[in-house]
Structure 1
Amino acid sequence: MKGGTFILVVYFCFWEIDWKPVFHILASVDWKWGTLSVLSFFFTLGMKIVRWGVLLRLVGGERDMVASQDLIAPFFVGQAVNIVMPFRGGEVLRLSWLGVKDKRLMIPGAFSILLEKWEDLLFLSLLTLVLAPWVSEWIKFPPVYSWFLAGLVLLILGGVVWAIRFFNLQSISFIPRPFREVLGPEIGRLQQRLNLTKHHMFLAFLSVFLSMLIWGSMILTNLFTLQALALPVNVKIAGVILVFVYVSLIPALIPGNVGPFHGAVVLGMSLFQIPLAPSLSFAILLHGIVTVFPLVVSALILFWGRWKKP
């Protein structure tokens, strides 16, 4: 069923495209800027690994902390699984990898991944609200109102995290008792760690700062890719593309997100009157950067791990 969906989506996305101008634009890539795009993408991945380590330390405590270098392999292999498989199985693999290393890391690992997704959702919401007045004539309110709404979203999502401190799993009777017996104590320990000590506040702010670096680096990758194809270099264009691509990744129904990724880029760039051929060229180049390199790195990691075994 999913294989048929994949074929249909790719067919309807690409069936009437004139590929000659697309290939012509791709053949003229300025590889100096393309290399910078790749480097900024790897910086993004590196910051994501560091952020994951910080969040593990925040929710797991010192005894459960894992060194960042020990997170490289599960992170990259998880990225590869997310790319290859038509569902978000990479997070399950990351969690399983931690469990194999140390069973005590399973619950903190799950909470750390949830917090990671929460922070990304927060910054996606903030970026969407900030960009909205500049990309649509239907949105008339001044940008300052957008910043106000962004702050409101931050307060609401922060309130959700704060409310976790008062959540009592044991009081919810319809949850099966085995789950309550296993998860209840872990949630209790998490609630104790969420007390506003200086150490935990530092880790929380550090994770948010890393998220800012991550999202800024992703915008920078788009800017470098635009420059590599001699397209208009504009922060608004780069930001809109990032928002559209991120939203297209959420369903994760198609391997590599082929089709929806490219359609999202073309749709986002159409808001700035950029023609189809350069838009699709940009989509192909960016898609290659964000999919091929994680696959190559994860393959090297798996090969290296097998080679090192006696």
Structure 2
Amino acid sequence: MARNAAIEPVSGISITIPLVLLAVLSAAVAVQSGFVATGAPDMSVAPPQTIVIAPHRFAYRDAAEYFRNGLAVDAPRLDMTMASPLEIMKYQTTLRDYDRCVADAICAPAENLGDTSSREVTPVTGVSYDDAIQYAAWLSDHTDTEWRLPTDFELAYAAADRFPDDALGIDPNDRNPANRWLADYEREARRAAAIDPRPQPQGSFGISQTGLVDFAGNVWEWTSTCNKRVELSKKDLSGDPDSRSCGIMIAAGKHRAPMSSFVRIPKGGGCSVGSPPDNLGFRLVRSRGLLERLTERVEGAMTHMFEPAMSPTAEQDDDES
């Protein structure tokens, strides 16, 4: 007598994994075969050395200028968690690397005031925000990877213990202007210019806990964050200004400095408030491509699917730890 064959249900995992893998592989094949345009990178331009900042919790004070009833108050300091890793240049962009963009007639020559004999290890300075954006676009074209300026938030996340806290440190309800004047005076005194403001070779100003080199030395770094003013006494707060139409950007170093986007030499003017930076330079963030993000998601999904199921007791212990 013939026996009925048992038909096993097809699991969702067995269907999902091949479909996701197929999507990733199809994207890879499309790129490799040329169906998806990726540009023609000039491999003679080596990408800069980067580090990956692992997700971690950190304290961040907003870069905006906060006021209450016309009086300056400290921006809120919040405990933030970055959910994704950040890939950023380990060192600031060097003169040698910037010179290649100049040689291609894409970037304007830098107004570097320091020693230029060791261009391969000396950070480029005397460059504006606009110059930095132009270089990022050039580097992206020549490495087939998207490079951009970090936001103030991302730079704080990457610099970790080296990032400054610009708080005045006074009671926000204190309405005595003399106290604010004194606190501001003391803060500016701590921001005195460096004894030797000339750009120094890589590694001259130490390294952060996260591996970022030379941040908060005598080169301030351009960010893509637009300077803004927040009046807390108003009920309706305007949204964040668009950096594409913003004329005042945040440069970060020993302290934050709002700078006009076209300024190259900060001591020549353009700093809206406070002591000007010694120099202006930059480092860039590498944006992960579509295929990288897809692959990362697939790997994460597969890891999650095949993780052994935790017992209720183990899951509770893990949460409590």
TM-score after normalising by structure 1: 0.25
Of structures 1 and 2, the one with the larger relative CO (CA 8 A, separation 6+) is 1
More strand by share: 2
